[in-house]
Structure 1
């Protein structure tokens, strides 16, 4: 079986510099990514969202248009989801119009790989945290249930509920790193007819977490500095050859992982109850 090669980028954060993001370097780094990807034989490019750092509606439209013009230079087909910064001032439909590409929840095949792009509510404020809107979970269940083939599940926000210990943004704010309905989301993934590998951005670091037999991968931001001290310049290459999944992160924080591309559904046994509570009973 021919291998499928997908280039992945996320959390571009084009815009102002902050103490931990080099937003002013986003476009040059994105142009460099486009140059490296073009002509390299990729089946597709996936953008994990948060293309800008939101400021105000007028400024955000200019920033999104800048990023969209860079993405339009890609030779390979591109696929987008939108992040919380992308919808702070605009609707999902606004993002789709600027990108000239869909951002909503959908299923499609890239090369030999079935992909589900899940676009739940990603609105986020300091007070609100992340919460699904009505219909979001049902849409995920529906998309996963359509096919029992191994599936790459793509979202902006990670779905594993993995620990944020040491994360500059989220150690003290874990409710901003994943959804309040995380247990129901993971149950939907566990109950899907086929095996799943999940891919996300948002948390600005490279991680691998396996929950209930499902590997969850996150990609570092293109412009984040809190780990290496300078813009990470991160982008990922996902290669699936029918037997293995190889995940390579390029940039200042490189990573190389090889995992089995799952052929069959795997589900862990339910965790034991609290020992203290069981002893008391």
Structure 2
């Protein structure tokens, strides 16, 4: 039940994001065009969720923000899952120095305060990463890469533990005695055993990455305006939270439901 409820919530968010352009054509509105005469307009037939501080339609920006937030969350989680799975398998398979180096690196990243480091890395000039400045796609890639630097650690530890338990089984010893290549052992027997815990960790990581991106964008270090993300929508609404509370409510509610959906999917997969 939890899995299906989580999939339903994430499906609604995904479909809404895919229909952002269609909704703009249907309403006849441009989510990027300001209208200073319609600042903080209440919900109406023209603007279903009202307008923001520049008179832009909140509903359309919410849909376009879903694209950005989902892209960052899914991208960061997938990169972290791939890196973590490879690191965990390598540590369990090779052992010795490789295991010690990778796990001590993971321990060091876990011991560091994540949020201050994320803020420092996000404040770096995108040109240092070889990315163009002021483009939404480059901002999405930059934030996803920064989050993946910390996101692989938990997956690596889970993958290592699962891989070590499989590699210690009798049928692995028998296969090695029969001369089965190591690559085949890893791909056919070890990797499938990792898919369960890695899938749960990845689902949780999507929600965590969306929260982290929202925090960075709220601080002005994530997705830069005029591109819409739920975090910078909250940042734009903070100055008028008492004058127009609905402008802050909608992106906050979108973050809540999306992260809740990710957690429900992860819990359903774990069960």
TM norm. shorter chain > 0.5: no
More strand by share: 1
State the TM bucket, normalised to the shorter chain: under 0.3
Return the index of the structure with the highest Cα Rg: 2
Q: Which one has more relative contact order, counting CA pairs under 8 Å at least 6 apart? A: 2
TM-score with structure 1 length normalisation? 0.23
More helix by share: 2
TM-score with structure 2 length normalisation? 0.23
